[in-house]
């Protein structure tokens, strides 16, 4: 399971409808709003 970087919900990578790639890594989202927020400023949400 992946963690949505916006809302911290767990997301199943196999069934996730919303994903984004950033710097070679795939991020998984629970909803289109979380994906849109990440896509606006991914640096704000990537693991430090």
Q: What is the pLDDT of residue 47?
A: 63
Give dist(CA 15, CA 23) in Å, integer. 22
pTM metric for this prediction: 0.90
Q: What is the pLDDT of residue 48?
A: 53
Give dist(CA 46, CA 19) in Å, integer. 14
Give dist(CA 14, CA 1) in Å, integer. 9
C-beta separation of 4 from 11 below 8 A: yes
User: Residue 2: exposed, middle, or buried by beta-carbon count in 10 A (0-12, 13-18, 19+)?
Assistant: middle
Question: Tens digit of pLDDT per residue, the chain (48 long)?
Answer: 999 999 999 999 999 999 999 999 999 999 999 999 999 999 999 965
């Amino acid at each position: 399971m992946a963690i949505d970087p916006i809302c911290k919900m767990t997301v199943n990578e196999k069934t996730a409808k919303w994903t984004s790639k950033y710097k070679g890594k795939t991020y998984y989202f629970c909803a289109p709003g979380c994906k849109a927020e990440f896509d606006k400023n991914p640096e704000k949400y990537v693991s430090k």
